[in-house]
Structures are given as C-alpha cells and as structure tokens.
C-alpha cells in the first residue's frame, strides 16, 4: 500500500511577465530599473515561500493521518494481514517523516532568501528616493517602503555583545547604560537559547522515530510463507513502532534556527560550532543535526552566562558608586 510521493512543482514567472512588470518604471532610469528588478525578485521569493508552506502543510497532514492509521492497526488483533499492513504503514510513515523534514528545511531556506531580497528591495527603494524621483513616483515608493519596512524589521538580525570593558572612571549613569545594553543582549541570547532548546528536542524526537521505525521493520520483516502466531501483543507499549509520544509535534514543525546562525550568532559563538551546525544541516541526518543543535545550545548558554555575570558586576559597581556619594 505504498503511496505515491507528492511532488511540488515550484512555478517560476516567465521572462515575458518579468519584462512587462512596470514598463514605465524601468524606462524612467537606472535607479528605477534596479528597484523594479528588486521588486520582481521579492515577489518571486514570496511566491516560493507560499508554495513551500502549502507543500509542507500537506505533508504534515499526511503524516498525522498515517500515525493515526498506525494506531488503529496496532489496536487490531494480531494477524498476518495486520502485520503486513502495519509494516507498510510504518514504512510510509517514515518516508513521509523524511519528506516533511526536508520540506521544513527547504521552507526555512526560502524564508531566509526572502529576507535577503526584501532587504535588497528596501535598499533599492531608499536609493531611488534619494535620487529625487518625480512626485508621483516618490509617493509610490513611499507606499512600497511603508509596506516593506515591517517585513524587513522582522528579519533575523545579528546579536551584538557590548564591550565588557568599561572606563575605570565611568560614572553610575554610564555604567547603567552599559548594563542596559548587556541586558538587551541577554534577552536576545535567551530567545535564541529557547529556540535551540526546542529545535534540539524536535530533532531528538526525529531520531527516536527513525530508530523505532528501523526496529519495527526488523520485527515485521518476515517471509510471506512463514507461520504467524495470532496471539495478542498486549498493551504495555502502545506506541512501539512509531516512536510517537502523546501530542508530540511532527518532525520539522518547529522554528528552524539553524539557517539563521551565520547571521544572528556570528559574533556570539565560535566559528567551529557555526560550521559544524551548517555541515550537519547539509547532511540532513537527524542524528548529526541533533548533536550540532545541542552543541550550539550549550555554546549560547555559556555566552549568556558570561554576559549575565558581567552585567551584574557592572550594576553592582554602579550601586557602590552611588552609595559612596
């Protein structure tokens, strides 16, 4: 009962349509042409994200349906027919889980690309506005900028850790300012830490799922002519075979922080950790990705502890200076 694999055909806008987009703008000059090209790239990236989002939703729905079917089969009386259907269902479920994991990575890459082209689009708009376009065009650009700015603002940004060193002669107000900057960095790091904790937990679940599928495949991989016992299996391990915990999310359902590490954490953790995370992500192996996610989580936790400790020291120093005066 092998299901056919769902194939998503990502449509690409034709060259004719791209050439016809805003012809009057392209004719207005080099700056306007650059803005039009950036807009076209943004629209194509938005369309790709929408298509990949829909594709992933279909896979997630299929995965949940397959898990429900496995649960129903396991509640039936053991038999040759039941065992064969369960084996096929487990195989289908694992295949869908792998597709879902791949679709999630593709979606996150597309979102990262969309964020980049949106920033380029905003830069092109600002450059054209600075060149002094006609009033009608200026209004058009201002409207586009108003719509685009919130989307670019939400894009991942690099976390910058303020300098730990302070002027020995700094007054309490200057120390308060440095402590506030460190606290803001703490908040950013804490969000990344929570995200990687969830990411690591999701990948750990994926690893367990794969191991359970492999074990179940060994248990049910019998020759068709081998006698089968019809005794009931008991209910002590109701989830054996699919590895699913109650209410556990499907693989790839959470936020994928791996793609944004080179942008967000470049100045926070060491390059070796960043490179190992990127290599694990390219491999697509849940075991490697889980290990890399745990290492990244630990590196962020260590950096967060350093920042918090230094911030408390600076706050204490400011407090002592105020007391002395």
Instruction: Please give the model's pTM, rounded to 2 decimal places.
Output: 0.54
Question: Which residues fall within 8 angstroms of residue 202, CB to CB, at 6 or more apart?
Answer: 249, 251, 252, 253, 254
**CA–CA gap between residue 37 and residue 29 (Å, rounded):** 12
Per-residue pLDDT of the chain (325 residues; tens, 9 = 90+): 444 434 333 343 333 333 333 333 333 445 788 899 999 999 999 999 999 999 999 998 998 898 888 889 888 888 888 888 888 888 888 888 888 888 888 888 898 889 889 989 999 999 999 888 999 999 999 999 999 888 886 666 788 888 888 888 888 899 989 999 999 999 999 999 998 898 888 888 778 767 766 666 555 554 444 444 443 343 333 343 443 433 344 444 444 556 677 778 888 889 899 889 888 888 878 888 889 989 999 999 999 999 999 999 999 999 998 888 6
Nearest to 93 by CA among 242, 203, 218, 239: 242
Burial class (CB in 10 A: 0-12, 13-18, 19+), 161: middle
105: phi then psi, degrees, rounded to nearest 5: -65, -45
**CA–CA gap between residue 86 and residue 99 (Å, rounded):** 20
Measured distance between the N- and C-terminal CA atoms of the chain, rounded to whole angstroms: 81
Q: Which residue has the tokens 């690409």?
A: 12
Tens-digit pLDDT profile for residues 19-78: 333 333 333 445 788 899 999 999 999 999 999 999 999 998 998 898 888 889 888 888
* Torsion angle (degrees, nearest 10) of CA 313, 316, 321, 325: 180
Total Cβ atoms within 10 A of residue 5: 8
**CA–CA gap between residue 250 and residue 207 (Å, rounded):** 12
Q: Which helix (H) or strand (E) holds 97?
A: helix 80-130
Around 103, how many Cα atoms within 13 Å sit in the side-chain half-sphere?
28
- Tokens standing for residue 261: 């590490």
**CA–CA gap between residue 192 and residue 307 (Å, rounded):** 14
3-class state of residue 207 by DSSP: helix
Please give the angle made by the CA atoms of 97, 99 and 105, to the nearest 5 degrees.
Answer: 105
DSSP state of 260: G
């Amino acid at each position: 009962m092998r299901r056919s694999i769902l194939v998503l055909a990502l449509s690409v806008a034709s060259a004719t349509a791209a050439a016809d987009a805003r012809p009057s703008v392209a004719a207005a000059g080099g700056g306007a042409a650059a803005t039009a090209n950036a807009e076209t790239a943004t629209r194509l990236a938005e369309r790709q994200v929408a298509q990949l989002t829909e594709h992933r939703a279909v896979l997630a729905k299929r995965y949940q349906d397959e898990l429900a079917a496995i649960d129903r089969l396991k509640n039936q009386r053991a038999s040759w027919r039941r065992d064969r259907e369960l084996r096929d269902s487990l195989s289908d479920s694992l295949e869908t889980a792998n597709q879902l994991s791949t679709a999630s990575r593709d979606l996150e890459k597309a979102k990262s690309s969309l964020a980049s082209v949106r920033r380029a689009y905003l830069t092109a708009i600002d450059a054209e506005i600075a060149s002094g376009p006609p009033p009608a065009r200026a209004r058009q650009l201002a409207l586009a900028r108003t719509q685009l700015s919130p989307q670019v603002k939400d894009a991942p940004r690099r976390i910058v850790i303020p300098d730990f060193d302070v002027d020995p002669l700094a007054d309490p107000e200057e120390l308060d300012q440095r402590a506030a900057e460190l606290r803001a960095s703490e908040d950013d790091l804490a969000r990344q830490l929570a995200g990687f904790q969830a990411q690591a937990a999701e990948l750990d679940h994926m690893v367990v799922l794969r191991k359970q599928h492999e074990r179940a495949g060994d248990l049910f991989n019998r020759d068709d002519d081998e006698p089968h016992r019809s005794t009931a299996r008991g209910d002590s391990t109701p989830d054996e075979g699919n590895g699913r915990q109650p209410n556990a999310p499907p693989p790839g359902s959470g936020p994928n922080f791996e793609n944004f590490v080179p942008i967000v954490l470049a100045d926070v953790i060491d390059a070796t950790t960043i490179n190992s995370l990127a290599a694990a992500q390219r491999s697509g192996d849940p075991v490697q990705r889980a290990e890399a996610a745990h290492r990244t989580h630990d590196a962020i936790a260590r950096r967060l502890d350093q920042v918090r400790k230094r911030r408390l020291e600076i706050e204490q120093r400011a407090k002592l200076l105020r007391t002395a005066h």
